[in-house]
A and B are shown apart, each in its own frame.
Chain A
Amino acid sequence: DTEVTQTPKHLVMGMTNKKSLKCEQHMGHRAMYWYKQKAKKPPELMFVYSYEKLSINESVPSRFSPECPNSSLLNLHLHALQPEDSALYLCASRPQSSGGPYEQYFGPGTRLTVT
């Protein structure tokens, strides 16, 4: 099973709302990733978690707050977003962040629209 699941599939939120995106994998992977993808652009890395610890933050604005409560679950908390934050948010995982080489598996994504 190489499945990464994400919920919700679609999300529409106002600029004053607080919402969360959820990502789950049950492959025993210890590295998990958040990517942001704008239309007609490739995915861009936002955050990397390795063994439930934040290892990389690609200078992401603080209105995006990641959380890794356990080895299977990754959340992205959203607050006071801007319309330009509208994008497809992709979660991915792989067995470990170091060593390898490893394949990286992506979830189906959450299509976020900020109004």
Chain B
Amino acid sequence: EDKVVQSPLSLVVHEGDTVTLNCSYEVTNFRSLLWYKQEKKAPTFLFMLTSSGIEKKSGRLSSILDKKELFSILNITATQTGDSAIYLCAPDAGGTSYGKLTFGQGTILTVHP
């Protein structure tokens, strides 16, 4: 059975801090790993990672995948209050999974002014 573990489960920081969110996974037929940000409603897409060691970057957010050790990290630098959200990772298992995503429990990030 696919397994996804995120850590920490919650994190409280002040504006300007840098945070690192972790995601470890065990899935068969791994194809990619997706990161999402969820505020009040739907998860919004952040990154899709397919290759080990290649960093994806978007503004203050960046993410990297280690396919050998089966984990990914999401970094947020110079955090802002608008970064407060739940961050979800989900590996895409490929094969006969029909694109099914199995989400980790999420990391609740709270950024105080």
Tell me whether A and B are bound partners.
Answer: yes
Pick from A102, A107, A109: contact of B99, CB under 8 Å: A102
CA distance A43 to B102 in the complex (A): 8
* Chain B residue with the shortest CB-CB distance to A106: B42
Interface size on B, residues (CB 8 A): 24
A108 touches B42 (CB 8 A): yes
Per-residue CB contact flags for chain A residues 83-115 toward chain B (1 = under 8 Å, else 0) read 000001010001011101111111111000000
A100 contacts B106, C-beta separation under 8 Å:
no
A42 to B102, CA, bound (A): 9
Q: Which of B41, B92, B100 contacts A100 (CB 8 A)?
A: B92
| B99 lies within 8 A of A31 (CB) | yes
Quick one: which of B10-39 are within 8 Å of A by CB? 31-32, 34, 36
Quick check: is B105 within 8 A (CB to CB) of the other chain? yes
Contact partner, B105, options A2, A42, A88, A96, Cβ 8 Å? A42
A42:B42 contact, CB within 8 angstroms: no
Cβ 8 A contact of B103, one of A43, A56, A94, A97 = A43
Q: Which residues of B contact A43 (CB under 8 A)?
A: 43, 88, 101, 103
Cβ of B48 within 8 Å of any chain A Cβ, yes or no, is yes
- A45, closest chain B residue (CB): B100
Inter-chain contact B34/A104, CB cutoff 8 Å: yes
Contact partner of A108 among B32, B41, B50, B88, CB < 8 A? B41
A interface, CB within 8 angstroms of B: 2, 31, 33, 41-45, 48, 50, 55-56, 88, 90, 94, 96-98, 100-109
